[in-house]
Amino acid sequence: MNTEPKDSFYRRPLPEGLVSFTSMEGRRLLREALTAGDAEAFYPLVAHLHTQAEPAWCGIGTLVTVLNALEIDPGRIWKGPWRFFGEDLLTCCKSLDLAAVEGMSLSEVACLAQCNGARVQTVYAEPEGLDAFRTALLKSLRAPAGPFMVANYDRATLGQTGTGHFSPLAAWHQASDQVLILDVARFKYPPHWVPVSRLWAALQGLDAASARPRGYLLMERADAITAHPAGLAQLLERLRAAGAGACLTPPTL
């Protein structure tokens, strides 16, 4: 007896203009980016690339990837005797159950990163910010130990299904001006190359919950582990008014 849900899915084809990471073209772009020194972030990020465990946990799955790539000690046991970031450790700022329903906003993902030992710069994608975005992007992708860039973008602007999404960025190909998105929803789309101008347009997509554009985060190791649990109350108070925009809710799959 077939017990498959009537509307079940197995991945999605990439829209036209996006290049799969594993295709021959995608491999060529990566080789050339590595040779040019524009993919130094690739190795630490891909070594820890995590597939989000829930449809709306893209922000949480992205943080598992980035916090481990930054080699931050969570200071708490994950499994057995091991200290390592898994989604179940990322419980400050917003409960996992609520995040599974609502997703997370840009400010909430920043809060979650901060209370787990990262220093975070939050940038909303205002129209005049393209030059600053490009400068920060290239600096990040040329750095093997961070800061790593996390993009919060509108999938529909890229021709993909769904709404808001989080994923880390890992490489830039100069000649074609494309950036490699390590999509943490690997059950849906593989890592893929996107023109920088198209990604910038997607970053400017409005987050309906916060009524602000989306944007990006720059994450690096803090000088000391911050706010878990010491100092967390102050951090939460400062961000309490933040919106809770969904990153990828089940109805929009």
The span from the CA of 57 to the CA of 138, in Å, is 27
- Residue whose C-alpha is closest to residue 205's, from 249, 147, 166: 166
CB 223 within 8 A of CB 70: no
User: Catalytic pick from 183, 192, 228, 247?
Assistant: 183
Q: Write down the catalytic residue from 58, 93, 115, 247.
A: 58
DSSP state of 147: P
Q: Is 173 designated active site? A: no
> Could you confirm whether 88 is annotated as catalytic?
no
Dump the DSSP string for 57-74: -HHHHHHHHHHHHTT---
The contacts of residue 227 (CB under 8 Å, 6+ apart) are: 92, 114, 115, 234, 235
Alpha carbons 183 and 167: distance in angstroms, whole number: 5
Which position among 50, 93, 115, 165 bears the catalytic label?
Answer: 165
Asked about 183 being catalytic, the answer comes back as yes
Between the alpha carbon of residue 218 and those of residues 10, 26, 132, 169, the distances in Å are 32, 25, 12, 10
First-to-last alpha carbon distance for the chain, in angstroms, is 25
Q: State the catalytic residues.
A: 58, 165, 183
